Every structure is written in structure tokens, then in C-alpha cells.
Amino acid sequence: MLLFLPPALVLFTLLVALPMAEAGWYSFFRWNGYGSPSEFVGLRNFRLLLDNADFRTALLNNGLIIVVSLLVQLPLALGLAVLLADRFRGTNAYRLIFFLPYVLAEIAAGLIWRFVYDGDYGLLTKILGAFGAAAVHVLAEPDTAMSAILIVVVWKYFGFHMILYIAGLQQIDRTLYEAARIDGATAWQTFTRITVPMLGPTIRLSVFFSILGSLQLFDLIMPLTKGGPSNSTHTMVSYLYNFGVTRMQIGFGSAVGVVLFVICVGFAFGYKRLVMRDD
Amino acid sequence: MTEADSPSAVTVVVHPVFRQAVLLIVAALVLIPLIATALGGFKTLGSLRVDPFGLPAHWEWRNYWDILAGARYWRQMGNSLVIATLTVVLTVTVSAMAAFVFVHVRFFGSGFLLNYLLLGLLFPAATAILPLFIKIRDLGLLDTYWGVVLPQVAFGLASSILLFRNYFRGLPDDLFEAALIDGCGYFGFFRHIVLPLSRPILATVAVITFVHSWNGYLLPLVVLNRDALYPWPLGIMAFQGEFSTDWHLILAFITLTILPAIAIFFAAQRHIVAGLTSGSLKG
């Protein structure tokens, strides 16, 4: 019967655990992937990385994505969840429509928005043109490209969080609202004193997914900007892909991977211990 | 049914008109890019430039027809289907078996091994991508379906095992005792009793795994170099690269590529929404 276990253990060890450990090992070498890693460089890859302006921009971008996810996307998702928590005509249709971007692949969503943002054929330039603006190429300008990406991030993922919140709202005991109404609570009081506290576990979970997802964002970047213009829109993972994978700098790329790993795992442990302790 | 006689769950007393207005605006922001994409595929490049929003003055069916008549579109969809199907079958089999052992067989080190596998939930996949490339290359699996399938399975194991384990634990213990008394071994119990009772969770894991594999980009990007093997996310990026400013063709190509996913989503919405969110709720 124990023979049921080895397939999972072998696959996981060989293709997940071992590569994770190897990333740590390779990060101490300068290596182009051929032969075996022999040029030990100590912490040089990490020093190069942290001194690199483009990598710092990438870190900053990941930070921006987190901030926008938490301050724009989650409130939007919560607000819509509240509007859609009760059944009325069309509830289901709205829920489906809002969830649709989450089901679309990042690559498809990214290409669609690349069209929206296209300076010659796109929707945005047409809208702005109606107000008299000249053709705008938002994705080609370092000043606007990252903001444009952030909008797509919100568009793509708010529906997922909305569904989480709707599921959470349905768990709340209705008598609480009845009591609040009898006590003459205003809508805002009801929302801040009952809905938000009772949703606590769901909100903490949604923040958790939001941050971990933001840290690992990659698939959306590629169809939109590939990290450009002039490396202004990289995330950690697109930086890893661009400077590690395509240039076959195994050691340097692995160092990026290690930084990503430390941030993600450190965050996950810390958050579970400090914030989600009681959930 | 009026608002008054169904005391609302959330009772943020918002005016219905305000609610409808907000919902309509958000729905428009979600749908307009998608609709403009589908319509854009019916336009000529010139008319797309003049009016990217409206209905095409002349419906250019050729854009779509040429794609459907060519091999390229079908090949990339076929590749994605093969990769996703293999990934789903393997993930479901391997993780259901492992979860069954963790629930029903007591052995030394069981807790340790489970925790080891569940570590996978925390690991960011991108960290392993370079060592994984080396490994796949050394195994001779570059430019093969298996080079994509096996790592996808390996990375899906942690969450699938967790989902299966939680479900199996909910099945009544009496079943197991009854089966053993009736002379049904572990394997028979698994095959004839646990699996048939586990349809909902099998569906959930299958949906999550399929969507992840179908949409996956980074792994095939690193493992596959021959465009004959490209799944659709690589194929569509290559297409966009080739036809860079022929947006009418690219839009038609995008539309045809996402159409099956959207159709399946609306056909099986309940399962898909529940599957994709329950995976994370219990994870």
C-alpha cells in the first residue's frame, strides 16, 4: 500500500525540492550552464544584484503592485461583493462577468490590453483623442508604462477576491444585521462595525494571496512590455527571466530566485504566524 | 420581491439605482476590451484605426476564416490540450494515491512526509526555473511534452494532496471498517469506494490543474524551443511578434484562442468558480 506514495515523493523531490536547493547552490557560482558549476564567486552575484539599478526598480515595481492590490483592488472587490451579496435580478450575471478576467490567461489578457493601449489602433488613444490629445503610446513611455500595467493587474484579479468576499459575506449571521437595524445603525456603521470585522479571516486570506501573487507576477508583464521601456517595468520574475534565463546566467539568475524565495517564504511564514494565527 | 421583504444579508442600504450604476460601469470596464477585441478581428486594419470601438462597417470574415483554415491555430490548441490533459491525469492519480496513504495508513514518518510535500505550497515556482531547466535538459526532455508536464505535475502536487486529504478525511470511518470486514483490501477500498465517492473533489482538482496548465507560460517558455510543440500562450506571443502591427489579425487570433476557454467557463461556471476559489480557501 505504501507504494502509493513514491510517485508523489519522487516527482516532488526531483522537480521541486531539489531545484529549489540547487538554486541556492548555483547562486554562489558564475556559470553558463555547460559542464558543471566550477567558478565559485561567493556572494558576488548577490552584491551585483543589489547594486543593480534595474533590479531595484523591479523590487520597487513589485512593491507598487502590492500597494495597488491592497489599496485599490481589495477595496473595489469588497465593495462589489457587498453590492452583489444579496440575490437580485442579474446578480449571477454580474458575478460571472467580474470573474471572467481571472479565468482568462495572463497572456491573453495582456495582449488584449496591449491593444487597448496601442497608440495607433488602441481604445485609450481614441478616448483621449476625443478630448483633443495627440496619440499616446502609454506602454512605450517609462513614465506611464508601469501605471498602465497596474490598471491591468486590478482588472485581471479583482474578480477573484470579490468571489472570496462573497463567500465570506454569506457566512455572516443575518441576525447581526437585524440587531444593527433595530439599534438604528447607519449603513456605514453596519459596514465598518459588522461586515468588516466579521469578514476578518477572509480579508486576511485575500491579503495573503494578493501579496504572494504580486511578488510572483510575470505572465502579465511579458505580453504588455517584456519589462521595457528601458527596463522600467520589470518585476523580480521578469528580471530573472530576462537576465538569467535568456542570457543563460545560471548563477546570477539563481541569485534572483533566491531573493524571491527568501521574500516569499519569509512573508508567508511571518504572515501566517503573526496575522493569520487565529484563523 | 422587493428589498423590504427580504432583509438583506449585508444591509448596507445602498440605493438600487446607485448599485445598478456602479455595477454597470464596472461590467462595462470588464467587457469593453473583450468585445472590442472580438469585433476588431472583423475589421480591416484601416477601419480599426478609424474606429476601434464600433461595429465593423463591413464584416471581414476572412481574418477569422484564414486562421481557422490554417494549421497553426489547431496545432497550438492541440499542444495545449495534450499537455493539460496529461498534466490533469497524472496530477489527479499521483496526488489522490498519496493523500489516501496519508489518511488511511499509519506509518512512521507519515506526518513528516506530509509536511515535506506541503512545503510546496510556499515555494515560488520561478525560483526553481533555472535549475529545472538544467534538470530537464540533463534528462533529455527539452522540447518534449513531458518536459512541461512532469514539472507541472510536481508543482501541483502540494495543493492537490491537501485538497484530497481534507476530503478523504471527511468520509466516514465506518466505510473503511466495513470494507475491510468484507475482505476488501486497501487497494479495492481505494478503487471501489473512495474514488467513486470523491467525484466532487476529483472535479475540483481537475479544474484547477487544467486551468493552470492551459494558461501556463513560464515553464513551456523555458522548456520548449520548437514552435511545432508550442502550446497556445507561446504560439500567440509568436504570432503577435510576427504580425506586430497587423492588429486586426492579432485580435482575430486572440479571440479564437480564448473562445474555447470562455465557452467552457460559461457552460460549467458553477464548477469552475467553486473549483478555482475552493482550492485557495482550503489551501
CATH number at residue B179: 1.10.3720.10
Residue B11 forms part of a structural domain: no
Mean pLDDT score across all residues of chain A: 94
The pLDDT score that the predictor gives to residue A74 is 97
| pLDDT tens digits, A111-128 | 999 999 999 999 999 999
Residue A140: give the domain boundaries.
42-274
The pLDDT score that the predictor gives to residue B12 is 54
Whether residues B155 and A16 touch (CB distance < 8 A) is answered with yes
A3 pLDDT tier (thresholds 50, 70, 90): confident
Residue A12 forms part of a structural domain: no
The pLDDT score that the predictor gives to residue A132 is 83
Whether residues A11 and B10 touch (CB distance < 8 A) is answered with no
* Average pLDDT of the residues in B19-35: 96
Which one of A11, A100, A244 has the shortest CB-CB distance to B94?
A: A11
pLDDT at B5 over 80: no
Instruction: Give the span between the Cα atoms of B32 and A29, in whole angstroms.
Output: 49
The pLDDT score that the predictor gives to residue B104 is 87
What percentage of chain B has pLDDT greater than the value 90?
70
Instruction: Show which of B27, B42, B64 is a domain's final residue.
Output: B64
The pLDDT score that the predictor gives to residue B3 is 39
B282 pLDDT tier (thresholds 50, 70, 90): very low
List A residues 65-94 in contact with B (Cβ-Cβ < 8 A): 79-80, 82-86, 88, 90, 94
Residue B49 forms part of a structural domain: yes
| Shared-domain flag, residues B142 and B57 | no
Buried/exposed A255-271: b ≥16 CB within 10 Å, e otherwise: bbbbbbbebbbebbeeb
- Please give the grid coordinates belonging to residue B24: 454597470
Residue B101 forms part of a structural domain: yes
- Domains of chain B: total: 2
Residue B222's region, left for phi above 0, alpha for psi from -120 to 50, else beta, is alpha
Rounded to 5°, the CA angle B21-A162-B23 comes to 10
Among the residue ranges A171-180, A216-225, B234-243, the one predicted with the least confidence is A171-180
Residue A9 forms part of a structural domain: no
What SS3 string covers chain A?
Answer: CHHHCHHHHHHHHHHHHHHHHHHHHHCCEECCCCCCCCEECCCHHHHHHHHCHHHHHHHHHHHHHHHHHHHHHHHHHHHHHHHHCCCCCCHHHHHHHHHHHHHCCHHHHHHHHHHHCCCCCCHHHHHHHHCCCCCCCHHHCHHHHHHHHHHHHHHHHHHHHHHHHHHHHCCCCHHHHHHHHHCCCCHHHHHHHHHHHHCHHHHHHHHHHHHHHHHCCCCCHHHHCCCCCCCCCCCHHHHHHHHHHCCCCHHHHHHHHHHHHHHHHHHHHHHHHHCCCCC
CATH number (domain holding residue A180): 1.10.3720.10
Residue B177 forms part of a structural domain: yes
B13 pLDDT tier (thresholds 50, 70, 90): low
| Shared-domain flag, residues B108 and B221 | yes
ipTM of this complex: 0.93
| Chain B neighbors of A7, CB-CB under 8 A | 93-94, 97-98
- Cα-trace Rg, chain B: 24
| Shared-domain flag, residues B30 and B167 | no
pLDDT at B8 over 90: no
Residue A18 forms part of a structural domain: no
A101 pLDDT tier (thresholds 50, 70, 90): very high
A52 pLDDT tier (thresholds 50, 70, 90): very high
Residue B6 forms part of a structural domain: no
| Shared-domain flag, residues B146 and B57 | no
Instruction: Show which of B5, B36, B64 is a domain's final residue.
Output: B64
Cis-peptide, bond into residue A229, ω within 30° of zero: yes
Residue B276 forms part of a structural domain: yes
* Average pLDDT of the residues in A103-110: 96
Residue B252 forms part of a structural domain: yes
| Shared-domain flag, residues B223 and B236 | yes
The pLDDT score that the predictor gives to residue B116 is 96
pLDDT at B280 over 70: no
Determine which of A15, A34, A222 to mutate to test the interface with B (most B C-beta atoms within 10 Å). Answer: A15
| Shared-domain flag, residues B216 and B257 | yes
Whether residues A83 and B22 touch (CB distance < 8 A) is answered with yes
Mean pLDDT score across all residues of chain B: 90
Residue B37: give the domain boundaries.
16-64
| Shared-domain flag, residues B20 and B128 | no
Closest residue of chain B to A203, computed from CA coordinates? B281
| Shared-domain flag, residues B125 and B191 | yes
| pLDDT tens digits, B163-217 | 999 999 988 888 888 888 888 888 888 888 899 999 989 998 999 999 999 999 9
| Shared-domain flag, residues B23 and B119 | no
Instruction: Show which of B64, B84, B103 is a domain's final residue.
Output: B64
| pLDDT tens digits, B47-73 | 999 999 999 989 999 999 999 999 999
| Shared-domain flag, residues B122 and B224 | yes
B43 pLDDT tier (thresholds 50, 70, 90): very high
The pLDDT score that the predictor gives to residue B2 is 37
| Shared-domain flag, residues B145 and B38 | no
Block residue for cell numbers 486586426? B248
Assess B164–A contact: CB distance below 8 Å, yes or no.
no
- Domains of chain A: total: 1
Residue B137 forms part of a structural domain: yes
| Shared-domain flag, residues B102 and B74 | yes
| pLDDT tens digits, A239-260 | 999 999 999 999 999 999 999 9
Residue A231 forms part of a structural domain: yes
The pLDDT score that the predictor gives to residue B205 is 93
pTM: 0.93
